[in-house]
Structure 1
Amino acid sequence: MTNDSNSSTTVGLLFSDTGVTSDIERSQRFGARLAINEINNSGGVNGFPILIEEHDLGGEPERFRSYVDKLIKEKNIKLFIGCYMSHTRKSVMSSIERADALLFYPTPYEGFEYSPNIIYGGPSPNQNSAPLAAYLIKNYGNKIVFVGSDYIYPRESHHVMRMLYKQHGGEILDEIYIPLYPSKEEVEHAVKRAVSMEPDVVFSTVVGHGTSEFYSHFADHYLNKNRPPIASLTTSEAEIRKMIPSVAEGNIVVAPYFTTVKTSKSLRFIEAAKNYFPRDVCITAWAEAAYHQTMMLCESIRRSNSSRVEDIKKELYSFHFEAPQGEIWIEKENNHTNLASRIAVINSKGDFDVKWTSPCPIKPDPYVVVHRLDDWSNLMPKVVFP
């Protein structure tokens, strides 16, 4: 990687093709690569192509850290896009900060973090958990069970959702965790425990390969009876593809973007992704995040005529970008992104029917400093159920 505009810039992609979250990480990898492909096909940045260094990191935090160290020390690469699970982001943070490098992180996360060397491109809790809590309480009821994978992100997300639910008189019936690589028996045990609580809704932070199994076992327990919905911050097209339609139908997801968003920018992104992504890779909200973060990085290099981190950061704070999800921009005070929030219900075809969209992009509040659930509740529609 060079420090001026007279040669190509190399970006390190930090994603996994194998491991528990490989389905979603592959979608992110190809989202970033699609952006770079479009940039290079249009002449590159200031006449030079963007180059890529990438490797299958297997979802293992130590492999992420060692790969970042290698690219920094051996190739002087200072610009990175990637990480999905929070423990992989945290594993590379010290290396990124020590080298004064820059990581673009295109993933929803638990909040309560700031690094001058990380640009957070996925939602923080006030951009997904807060509106979701208001929507669930207004439309489904106060009794909720939490089920999550056993690592940092689910535990911290449950902490935030607990606070939000209690603000409005909600009742958390149980908090259940399963391993990242769960056995069938471990999933079944978690489902039986959740069902026994008779919740109005289940809040799931299960990630990766266990997601479809958890949803399937949960549906099996209700057979023909009405079952409470599972609401999630992370379930995407990649996980839904592995479920039969009746298992996915009726469950709820909150995200900045869904492929059912029909703006002209979204439609162009979907068409380009369908032509570029391998057939087994889904277009997801987190592919869109990787795509728009890569585009914003390249635009900052173009504007600054430099690939120095300090020059790129100055430009990142100076402009708004029209992403497939809508207009976005980065807050200098915390390096988080102003994002749309959308709440959708999965239909019988496995598509997302958007039920609510924030009136404007939501300013990120990663430390959950200013939250009143009533503020969100007043914006929520009351759903009429058949």
Structure 2
Amino acid sequence: MSVLAFDADDPLLATAAWSRLAEPGDETAGALVAHLGAPGALAWLLDQQSGESARADLARPLKAGVARWSPRLEGLDPRRELGVLERTGGTLLLPDDERWPRGLDALGAGAPFALWVRGDADLAAVCRRSVAVVGARASTSYGEHVTAQLASGLADRGFTVVSGGAYGIDAVAHRGTLLAGGSTVAVMAGGVDRFYPQGNHDLLRRVAEAGAVVAEVPPGSSPFRQRFLARNRLIAAMTAATVVVEAAWRSGALSTARRAADLLRPVGAVPGPVTSMASGGCHQLLRDGVATCVTDAAEVAELAGAVGVDAATPPTGESADVDGLDEAGRAVLDALPARASAELSSLVRVAGRSLPEVLGALGMLELRGLVEADGARWRRARARRR
């Protein structure tokens, strides 16, 4: 039987211990802790390991879980990890903290036990108005340009930009937000004591200063593939919408988008060149109806923001002479020669309109400066023919 070196009845220590014992997204562990509380679940696990089976009725369905968690009881002491977090100036958030981002509650039994945070610990406030911007590590110059524009535009509109701190689109999303003076959050697959990837260390340090760097695994935890995939569900859940800028056919960004869709959160995808493999995943999301096409920050804000507050302004093209004309006005204007003048009878015939309709249309066109009288004839206004 394992003998724990810490007070397992302390809810903070017990919860921190479960973030070490169970892998991210372990719904069996999540259900157990939700049912018994972190200290009670830890006591139950110790009973199962010792063979006392104080709650034998629960042991059978949880047998596989016990086999996964028990090996990590050896040497378990969350006080070490909390000490490391304290030295970095970080905070451990529990779900009952008012600073907890409530969007994570949608994950149910798969929600994290705790969040290890460096930077602004009030994630509830930080994520209240937030967008996940994710994409390929092997990004193109096109994708990076679009991402920088989106990030800065969202920052200007008061949105927090959340991403995964990786190379490529993630890094540009964080960097663009910082350059615009906005708030950004990086969600890590490993512990917050060692920023990963190493090449983004300085960037992630700045993210922690302007926003937050967050992980559900304790300090000292290494990132590996399954933790990256599990991390994506947090990015999808803690934000109001997810936008994918570039993603190949097999991309972690697509898993974030699909998790967001599963949670009934809006998903946006930026279209790219049809010949670009880097945008193949985005096009698939659009084709499958999972995502809405977005091309600028205003459209993303409309996707993630408040109804009636963040609506995007409808795009407008160059004004044309026919804008606002009724059918008769368009027909008469089209009937006028490009250079020469025309008699009234000719306009009636060519436009296919009655004489009163043509006279009315000519009066309206003259008021708008589109036509002018030339004796008994009519011509397009000279200024319009240059």
Using the size of structure 2 for normalisation, the TM-score is: 0.25
- Which of structures 1 and 2 has the larger relative contact order (alpha carbons within 8 angstroms, sep 6+)? 1
| Larger fraction in helix | 2
**TM-score w.r.t. structure 1 length?**
0.25
Higher strand share: 1
